[in-house]
């Protein structure tokens, strides 16, 4: 299920490349895997090296993971990110980052938190590695944050409103990327899509890193005794843990912290002092946390954090700020939890709120997408720990939403194709046609052939052809003997049509299924509009049906003639008939019989129109506009008895 990725920071301040890579890879890998995120469990040695977790450790982790998973779900429900990332900084000075992914999907927030943590860690590493000097102006930090947000925004979705959490996440991602791409060579991952915006962000990030770089003090959850961890856990989760696994506890706490980011920043009493101090000491760690937090919202606190972090980097210590910002250490996390929870909680709401908003918006755009987002956000977070910022959906879910997969702090943007398809039926049909040789085309061909036989050869395959042909056919019969001839003609047509319908049906179904285009209505509701052009065959059928059943008996006509056309409703028939009627009367009386095909505008064969008119007359459906005179002109042809037509 989940593996824990441990990233160590050596006191040296450098990340082991391997370690980083692992983390990144692990993170990245998840996206590949998609749902199941597999993390490698790594243990951080005292020296800061990453050591593959032993079976026992794995077991522990597994328990932890499971446990977490259960919790994770809860967390996810709460809106927290599934993954728990705990960053520990051992006294030795190594920073340990643990990422846990519960089976449950991680909330965006959690992911964000993770990412942030990871970023922080990375940052710290970077700092250590690249810069020993921590000093950077907060501006940098802020800019970074903002930049991160933006990038994130871009990457995820073009969310107009920056979501605190999301931004934070984004920032975190960015950070990670930036770290990876930029300062952190260690991170195997090259910054990718996310980085785009991140580039600037990365630069900033690098700055941050420098700022963040942990000077010395590291707070390590590791340092904490199990009991302490338990307490922290209890405080964090409100329940006691029986788990004895320190790592697990750490992770959990880290998770809570991540959550806590959302929840509260209050420092943990027990560890607060240590943590706070440590945080203070470790600007980098705090910075990370701060960045996370800040990312969520550029709240004052965040700013403070950043500032503090910056300050810390500079050497200035803001205990409070530091504590908040420094989440890396378990202590820090704790602090966050306790102290910042409130802030985080506040933020969370914003997040969710934002998400919801985004979702709503996205929904408006794409219901499905929005839904998916919702699911993700609330509890359905995909195992992959995908973070979908509402923004993604928000941006334009339709086309795609970028999905951020954070694994082990690596951020991946995965474009998600919105479920909603707006392609038109035709396309689908075309596609279907491709797939199904026998599709509409053939049916049409058949119908065309029939038509050709009956009347004249329409060259066109498509409806146009049919139509063109049809008129001739109809025309002949109508001219000579509307009833009889028409019947024969019609019959073939119908047969063809029938054939076609079957074939068409698939297409139609597909269209229905896939092609349904949802159009946002002014109301905001989605309106599914699947447009299927009426084919000549259909028109013919309709005419026939009307002749048989009489106009107005649409349901019956549908049953009889359009049984195969699932996509044609009685209303559709009615509408079409209405249009036909209109068209038929619109035709110049003189032209009626013969050249009926109007200018190219009216694809419908004159003959058909004539029939329509006849039928209309018979049924006295003549549109008011068209005086009887017109009908009269057509009247000659009109004679056809309904029975005859039938």
Partner DNA sequence: GTTAGGG
Partner DNA sequence: CCCTAAC
Given the rule CB under 7 A, which of 28-36, 51-59, 228-236, 520-528 is the region that contacts DNA? Answer: 520-528
- Smaller CB distance to DNA: residue 122 or 503? 503
- Smaller CB distance to DNA: residue 390 or 542? 542
String of contacts with DNA for each residue 343-382, x by CB under 7 A: ----------------------------------------
Distances (CA, A) of 385 to 53, 99, 115, 122, 594: 22, 11, 11, 19, 68
As measured in angstroms, the least distance from the Cβ of 574 to DNA is 5
Evaluate whether 410 touches 23 at the Cβ level (below 8 Å). yes
Distance of alpha carbon 13 from alpha carbon 3, whole angstroms: 24
Site membership for DNA, residue 555 (CB under 7 A):
yes
Distance of alpha carbon 608 from alpha carbon 468, whole angstroms: 10
- Smaller CB distance to DNA: residue 80 or 621? 621
Distance of alpha carbon 91 from alpha carbon 473, whole angstroms: 92
Evaluate whether 219 touches 124 at the Cβ level (below 8 Å). no
CB atoms within 10 A of CB 227: 10
- Smaller CB distance to DNA: residue 69 or 535? 535
Site membership for DNA, residue 548 (CB under 7 A):
no
Site membership for DNA, residue 460 (CB under 7 A):
no
Site membership for DNA, residue 531 (CB under 7 A):
yes
Evaluate whether 8 touches 53 at the Cβ level (below 8 Å). no
Sequence-separated (6 or more) residues with CB below 8 Å from residue 345: 262, 263, 264
Site membership for DNA, residue 438 (CB under 7 A):
no
Evaluate whether 354 touches 112 at the Cβ level (below 8 Å). no
Site membership for DNA, residue 556 (CB under 7 A):
yes
Site membership for DNA, residue 566 (CB under 7 A):
no
Site membership for DNA, residue 422 (CB under 7 A):
no
Site membership for DNA, residue 528 (CB under 7 A):
yes
- Residue in 353, 575, 589, 595 binding DNA, rule: CB under 7 A: 575
Residue 44: both structure tokens together: 């951080």
As measured in angstroms, the least distance from the Cβ of 527 to DNA is 4
**Sign of the C-alpha dihedral computed for residues 151, 157, 163 and 165 taken in this order:** negative
**Sign of the C-alpha dihedral computed for residues 276, 278, 280 and 284 taken in this order:** negative
Residue 616: both structure tokens together: 């209309």
Burial 430-443 (b: 16+ CB within 10 A, else e): bbbbeebeebbbbb
Residue 55: both structure tokens together: 């079976």
Site membership for DNA, residue 529 (CB under 7 A):
yes
Given the rule CB under 7 A, which of 25-33, 437-445, 484-492, 546-554 is the region that contacts DNA? Answer: 546-554
- Smaller CB distance to DNA: residue 365 or 558? 558
Half-sphere exposure of 234 (CA within 13 A, CB side): 12
- Smaller CB distance to DNA: residue 323 or 515? 515
Site membership for DNA, residue 424 (CB under 7 A):
no
Interface of this chain with DNA, residues 95 to 154, rule: CB under 7 A: none
Site membership for DNA, residue 585 (CB under 7 A):
no
- Residue in 227, 234, 419, 527 binding DNA, rule: CB under 7 A: 527
Site membership for DNA, residue 190 (CB under 7 A):
no
Number of residues that bind DNA (CB under 7 A): 22
Only one residue has tokens 């984004």, namely 170
As measured in angstroms, the least distance from the Cβ of 55 to DNA is 59
Angle (CA) 179-180-186 rounded to 5° is: 110
Site membership for DNA, residue 532 (CB under 7 A):
yes
- Residue in 15, 67, 305, 567 binding DNA, rule: CB under 7 A: 567
Site membership for DNA, residue 505 (CB under 7 A):
no
CB burial class (10 A; 0-12, 13-18, 19+) of residue 644? middle
- Smaller CB distance to DNA: residue 423 or 555? 555
Site membership for DNA, residue 463 (CB under 7 A):
no
- Smaller CB distance to DNA: residue 383 or 425? 425
Distances (CA, A) of 3 to 40, 196, 254: 4, 29, 15
As measured in angstroms, the least distance from the Cβ of 563 to DNA is 12
Interacting residues toward DNA by CB under 7 A? 521, 525, 527-532, 551-556, 558, 567-568, 570-572, 574-575
């Amino acid at each position: 299920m989940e593996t824990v990725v441990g990233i160590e920071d050596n006191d040296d301040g450098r990340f082991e490349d391997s370690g980083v890579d692992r983390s990144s890879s692990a993170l990245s890998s998840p996206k590949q895997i998609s749902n199941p995120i597999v993390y490698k469990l790594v243990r951080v040695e005292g020296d800061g090296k990453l050591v593959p977790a032993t079976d026992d450790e794995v077991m522990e982790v597994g328990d932890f993971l499971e446990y977490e998973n259960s919790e994770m779900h809860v967390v996810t429900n709460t809106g927290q990110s599934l993954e728990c990332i705990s960053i520990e900084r051992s006294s030795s000075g190594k920073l340990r980052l643990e990422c846990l992914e519960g089976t449950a999907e991680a909330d965006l927030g959690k992911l964000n938190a993770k990412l942030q943590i990871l970023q922080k860690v990375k940052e710290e590493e970077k700092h250590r590695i690249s810069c020993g000097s921590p000093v950077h102006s907060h501006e940098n930090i802020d800019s970074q944050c903002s930049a991160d947000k933006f990038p994130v925004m871009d990457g995820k979705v073009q969310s107009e409103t920056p979501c605190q959490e999301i931004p934070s996440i984004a920032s975190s991602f960015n950070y990670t990327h930036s770290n990876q791409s930029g300062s952190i060579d260690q991170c195997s991952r090259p910054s990718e899509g996310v980085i785009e915006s991140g580039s600037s962000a990365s630069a900033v990030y690098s700055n941050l890193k420098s700022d963040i770089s942990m000077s010395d003090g590291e707070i390590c959850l590791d340092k904490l005794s199990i009991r302490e961890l338990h307490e922290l856990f209890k405080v964090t989760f409100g329940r006691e843990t029986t788990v004895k696994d320190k790592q697990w506890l750490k992770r959990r706490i880290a998770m809570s912290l991540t959550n806590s980011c959302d929840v509260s920043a209050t420092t943990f009493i027990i560890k607060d002092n240590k943590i706070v101090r440590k945080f203070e000491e470790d600007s980098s760690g705090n910075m990370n946390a701060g960045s996370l937090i800040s990312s969520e919202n550029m709240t004052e606190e965040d700013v403070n954090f950043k500032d503090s972090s910056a300050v810390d980097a500079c050497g200035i210590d803001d205990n409070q700020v530091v504590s908040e910002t420094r989440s890396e250490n378990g202590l820090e996390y704790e602090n966050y939890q306790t102290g910042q929870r409130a802030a985080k909680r506040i933020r969370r709401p914003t997040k969710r709120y934002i998400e919801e908003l985004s979702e709503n918006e996205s929904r408006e755009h794409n219901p499905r997408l929005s839904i998916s987002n919702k699911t993700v956000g609330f509890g359905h977070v995909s195992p992959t720990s995908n973070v979908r910022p509402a923004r993604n959906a928000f941006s334009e879910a339709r086309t795609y939403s970028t999905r951020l997969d954070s694994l082990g702090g690596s951020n991946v943007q995965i474009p998600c194709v919105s479920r909603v398809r707006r392609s038109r039926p035709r396309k689908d049909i075309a596609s279907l046609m491709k797939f199904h040789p026998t599709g509409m085309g053939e049916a049409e061909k058949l119908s065309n052939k029939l038509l050709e036989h009956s009347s004249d050869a329409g060259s066109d395959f498509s409806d146009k052809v049919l139509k063109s042909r049809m008129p001739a056919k109809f025309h002949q019969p109508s001219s000579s003997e509307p009833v009889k001839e028409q019947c024969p003609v019609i019959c073939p047509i119908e047969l063809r049509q029938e054939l076609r319908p079957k074939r068409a049906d698939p297409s139609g179904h597909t269209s229905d299924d896939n092609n349904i285009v949802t159009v946002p209505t002014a109301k905001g509701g989605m309106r599914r509009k699947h447009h299927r052009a009426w084919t000549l065959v259909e028109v013919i059928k309709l005419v026939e049906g009307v002749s048989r059943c009489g106009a107005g008996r649409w349901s019956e006509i549908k049953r009889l003639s359009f049984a195969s056309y699932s996509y044609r409703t009685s209303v559709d028939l009615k509408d079409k008939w209405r249009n036909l009627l209109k068209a038929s009367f619109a035709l110049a009386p003189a032209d009626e019989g013969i050249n009926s095909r109007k200018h190219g505008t009216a694809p419908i064969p004159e003959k058909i129109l004539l029939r329509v008119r006849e039928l209309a007359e018979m049924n006295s459906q003549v549109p008011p506009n068209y005086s009887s005179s017109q009908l009269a002109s057509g009247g000659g042809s009109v004679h056809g008895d309904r029975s005859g037509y039938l």
